[in-house]
Chains A and B, each alone.
Chain A
Amino acid sequence: MILLIQILVLGVLAVALTQWLRHLPYPSPLVRPLLPSRQRWPELQIREWLETTRFHSGYLRFFYRDPPRVLPADDGIIAPADGLVTSYEARAGVRYIVIALSFWDMHVQRSPLDGRVTNVTPSGDAHMDGEGRDFAFLRDKYCPVQTRIALETDIGPVAIRLITSVAARRIETWVHAGEQIRRGQRVGRILLGSTVVLEVPDEYVCTCELGSHVRAGETILAAKASV
Chain B
Amino acid sequence: MMDWLWHDGHLSWPLFAVLVYTSLIILGADLVWRTTSGSTRKLALWVASVWLLGVVSIYGLAVF
- Chain B 20-32 against A: per-residue CB contact (8 Å), 1 yes, 0 no? 1001101100110
> Which of A6, A35, A36 lies in contact with B11, CB distance below 8 A?
A6
> Which of B20, B26, B27 lies in contact with A10, CB distance below 8 A?
B20
Q: Measured between alpha carbons, how far is A16 from B25 in the docked complex, in Å? A: 12
- Is A31 in contact with chain B by the CB < 8 A criterion? yes
Residues of A within 8 A of B30 (CB): 20, 27-28, 31
- Chain B 21-54 against A: per-residue CB contact (8 Å), 1 yes, 0 no? 0011011001100110000000000000000000
Q: Measured between alpha carbons, how far is A44 from B5 in the docked complex, in Å? A: 43
> Which of B9, B19, B27, B34 lies in contact with A39, CB distance below 8 A?
B34
In the complex, are the beta carbons of A31 and B31 less than 8 A apart? yes
Residues of B within 8 A of A31 (CB): 27, 30-31, 34
In the complex, are the beta carbons of B19 and A10 less than 8 A apart? yes
- Chain A 1-31 against B: per-residue CB contact (8 Å), 1 yes, 0 no? 0110010011001101100100000011011
In the complex, are the beta carbons of B31 and A34 less than 8 A apart? yes
Q: Measured between alpha carbons, how far is A13 from B26 in the docked complex, in Å? A: 10
Interface size of B in residues (CB-CB distance below 8 Å): 14
Interface size of A in residues (CB-CB distance below 8 Å): 18
Given contacts A13-B23, A16-B23, A31-B27, contact A6 B34 (CB under 8 A): no
Residues of A within 8 A of B16 (CB): 6, 9-10
In the complex, are the beta carbons of B19 and A2 less than 8 A apart? no
Q: Can you give 21 contacting A-B residue pairs, CB < 8 Å?
A: A2-B10, A3-B9, A3-B10, A6-B11, A9-B20, A10-B20, A13-B23, A14-B23, A16-B23, A17-B23, A17-B26, A20-B26, A27-B30, A27-B34, A28-B30, A31-B27, A34-B31, A35-B31, A35-B34, A36-B35, A39-B34
